[in-house]
Structure 1
């Protein structure tokens, strides 16, 4: 069965863009998403709140699971939080912290980068993009994978602001079935969708500098990584 949360984390690198200039007339979906990617890459300091609503199927209006998070980019460091898990990507190292499981995963930069919201262009390698709608404020683009078996999604709908190319909303339509139980406790299998909404988050230099500071998580002694004291009881995994 699909692990919704893990897939959500991996896919999170699709979700974030910020501030760009450009023409809004006669743009293709590829150009729009490329502009959004470039806007994020060139942003020095961005901060967003995020909310996640998981639905049991493509058409359901009843939220099955809801959780919140934040997205932060500052001084070339990527920080994002989803429920009880933090992801921080530095220049040469990525770190994942699960506070419920008291576990930390350390990843080399090249692997951490793949899971970080660095560029929409990277995600487009396996997708076809088209502009399906447009209103006064937003472009609405649809991405469909070339090979569903590899991507595990049937499509993604992205709402992108016209004035600054920031992402407002994204809806992910999963392919694999998810196991749940009905009111009588009977197992049921559904094909879920995940809606993620973004809104501006107030910037706070002191707080955000702490979230993106290496010293808040670990120190480097040669080739050795020494975790902060607050993580002394956590189990460490290297990838």
Structure 2
């Protein structure tokens, strides 16, 4: 009976701790969103660093990116990928593949500043104070289809995101310094660098524009493939 009681106490304590961490994480996400929403115009420089494994210290590949927010429009870049939301349209561009995908924009910000998408993805959440700010670790994904098994998000004392670390699930192929093919499960670190309130123009016509009811490519990207997935009223 005593053993059963101790097990029950352990279960209840674990549930209480999870509930407290979940509430703390949701509060941090809410505070962070309020911070970015309050600033209608901003741009943030990003630095992406890929590591070959979850524990390796040497950067295998790195590149820069940015987040630009202008009122209700946003632009998010990552190496040769661009995601743009403007005038009710969501435009995703892969410059490597020379493909542009256009769909309806429902107001969901798909940039790294939007953390609400993670709230229901993980079974385990830990929140703790770090360097005057906060660090959140989310693990044990709800669904197997999620491509990462753990994410760490760090905030400063102003609820600004300073870093995200993504631990992937699947192995990827790469070549070592000797040109030999190897496999490993990588991690990605995204450092949020300097933030500026300088206005940066977001112009969807640089990518696509309407010609009557038809969506067409801009002259700059006329050699790309356009996939129009908009749902027309």
TM-score class, shorter? 0.7 to 0.9
Q: In the superposition, relative to structure 1, how do residues 219 and 144 fare at CA in structure 2: closer, same or farther (>3 Å)? A: same
SS of 2:48 mapped into structure 1: strand
Higher mean alpha-carbon deviation, 114-123 vs 28-37, is at 114-123
Counterpart of 2:137 in structure 1 is 142
Counterpart of 1:182 in structure 2 is 176
Gaps of 5+ in 1: 1-26
1:36 aligns with 2:32: yes
1:119 aligns with 2:114: yes
- Check the 8 A contact 1:30/1:130 in 2, yes or no: no
Counterpart of 1:169 in structure 2 is 163
1:62 aligns with 2:52: no
Q: In the superposition, relative to structure 1, how do residues 204 and 35 fare at CA in structure 2: closer, same or farther (>3 Å)? A: closer
Output the TM-score relative to the length of structure 1: 0.76
Higher mean alpha-carbon deviation, 185-194 vs 56-65, is at 185-194
Structure 2: how far apart are the matches of 1:190 and 1:30? 33
1:75-90 map, 5 Å: 75-90=71-86
Counterpart of 1:17 in structure 2 is none
Structure 1: how far apart are the matches of 2:192 and 2:111? 17
Gaps of 5+ in 2: 1-22
Q: In the superposition, relative to structure 1, how do residues 118 and 131 fare at CA in structure 2: closer, same or farther (>3 Å)? A: closer
Structure 1: how far apart are the matches of 2:56 and 2:143? 22
Q: In the superposition, relative to structure 1, how do residues 117 and 50 fare at CA in structure 2: closer, same or farther (>3 Å)? A: closer
SS of 2:144 mapped into structure 1: helix
- Check the 8 A contact 1:38/1:119 in 2, yes or no: no
Match of 1:238 among 215, 228, 231: 228
SS of 2:33 mapped into structure 1: helix
Provide Cα deviations, 1:94-126, integer angstroms capped at 9, x if missing partner.
11223333321212224x847445732232122
1:39-54 map, 5 Å: 39-54=35-50
Which structure has the bigger radius of gyration? 2
Structure 1: how far apart are the matches of 2:73 and 2:109? 14
Structure 2: how far apart are the matches of 1:203 and 1:41? 13
Structure 1: how far apart are the matches of 2:211 and 2:150? 45
Counterpart of 1:216 in structure 2 is 206
Structure 2: how far apart are the matches of 1:198 and 1:153? 20
Equivalences, count: 206
- Check the 8 A contact 1:161/1:168 in 2, yes or no: yes
Provide Cα deviations, 1:115-155, integer angstroms capped at 9, x if missing partner.
4457322321222432134222x211111243251222121
Provide Cα deviations, 1:44-69, integer angstroms capped at 9, x if missing partner.
11210000010011111111110101
